[in-house]
Amino acid sequence: MCTKMNPDRFNPTLSVDEYLAETNVLFYLNDAVTQLLEHKEEYTQFGIVRYFAEYFSSVKNGNHVLFREFGYIKATAHNRASFIRVLWRCFRQIGKNGDLLAMLEYSSLLQLLCPDFPVEMVQHAARIVLMDDAMDCLMSFSDFLFSFQIQFYFEEFLESIAVIYQDLLSGKSPNTVIVPTSTSVEQLPQVATEETEAQEGVDSSVFGECIEVLCERFKHNHPSTSAIREVLELTQRVTFYGFVMALVRHEGVNQDIGALPNKSELLIDPEMDQEVEKLIAQIAISPTSNSSSSVPGHKEPPRKASPRKSLHHRKRIEMESDGSTEETDSSEN
């Protein structure tokens, strides 16, 4: 159940309460009013109506999560998906350059967008990529980004299935396995420790049955049951991180979340590249960029047009981003 904002303005099959719950309108309205009251001197100068229009336009476009506190960006499925997309667009050049970064470096990048973003969340995402490798190994941007997407968007789901996995791994009968609705994040590293001791994992069909029971009454986001079945049908036994990595690589799950393009297209954004080239060109001809340009009457020679294929005009893009097709470097410790 991947809850995304409905592109249709109204769904006639929903009651008023169901519509408000599905779209989180009251949550955003409450936040809009809170922000207005906290910064009323700034916002009231250009009008209350305009303020609310711009606030909800920002929510719709997904730019509202930038520089907000962690509690806000994880409060709704739309906020989580928006933050994932912001992360991709802001730092996509890292992937395009083929740079490999360590877990703490990715944590620093996330804290540039969300100052109180917890390092524990980044550690869990890195563990999906690195599995048994040391946590100081380097990761490509695309490997980290897609793993982070699953960890962040489905956080509560992963916490719950970690408990199920632990119970099955310890030898409990499926009938006695406790299917939780929520649990503590601290249990995830314990799974990694146990998994090292039992690489064979658990029976895939039994694990799948327990997960389906969880999904039936789970109130948080979870991957579609069809995607879960597809992943578990590929093998007779599965480890916890093997299952999570399969979700990371499942294109259907990525499409359901709707925040990122598929991995093969993560680096392809020629329109954004054109915007960046324009920005670089403006910086290059600015008075502060070249001392000779400050001489009266001196004009910078015209710059040659980019050899890239011309593109149709597009709306102003507020952030740049990229991903990487480089494989994770697990050989450096």
Residue 283 is encoded by which pair of tokens?
A: 């910086």
Q: Name 37's Cβ contacts closer than 8 Å, sequence gap at least 6.
A: none
> Considering 268, 302, 322, which residue would you say is the last residue of a domain?
268
The reply to whether 91 and 141 lie within a common domain is yes
> Considering 211, 234, 268, which residue would you say is the last residue of a domain?
268
The reply to whether 42 and 81 lie within a common domain is no
> Can you give the residue range of the structural domain that contains 52?
20-59
Residue 170 is encoded by which pair of tokens?
A: 């310890």
Beta strands in the chain (DSSP E): 100-101, 139-140, 202-203, 237-238
In a domain, 182, yes or no: no
The reply to whether 55 and 204 lie within a common domain is no
In a domain, 190, yes or no: no
Q: How many domains does the chain have?
A: 2
The reply to whether 99 and 169 lie within a common domain is yes
In a domain, 224, yes or no: yes
Residue appearing with tokens 């599965």: 238
pLDDT at 158: 96
The reply to whether 107 and 126 lie within a common domain is yes
The reply to whether 119 and 40 lie within a common domain is no
222: left (phi over 0), alpha (psi -120 to 50) or beta: beta
User: Exposed, middle or buried, 36 (CB in 10 Å: 0-12/13-18/19+)?
Assistant: middle
The reply to whether 254 and 169 lie within a common domain is yes
In a domain, 315, yes or no: no
The reply to whether 96 and 53 lie within a common domain is no
DSSP string of 182-249? ---TTHHHHHHHHHHH-TT-EEHHHHHHHHHHHHHT--S----HHHHHHHHTT-SEE-HHHHHHHHHH
- Tell me the per-residue pLDDT of 21-64, one tens digit each, with 9 for 90 and over: 888 999 999 999 999 999 888 888 888 999 999 999 999 999 99
The reply to whether 79 and 45 lie within a common domain is no
Residue 75 carries which side chain, given as an amino acid letter?
Answer: A
The reply to whether 48 and 83 lie within a common domain is no
In a domain, 288, yes or no: no
* pTM of the complete model: 0.75
The reply to whether 52 and 140 lie within a common domain is no
The reply to whether 26 and 166 lie within a common domain is no
In a domain, 6, yes or no: no
In a domain, 28, yes or no: yes
> Considering 248, 268, 288, which residue would you say is the last residue of a domain?
268
Below-50 pLDDT ranges, the chain: 3, 7, 182-189, 192-197, 288-327, 330-333
In a domain, 293, yes or no: no
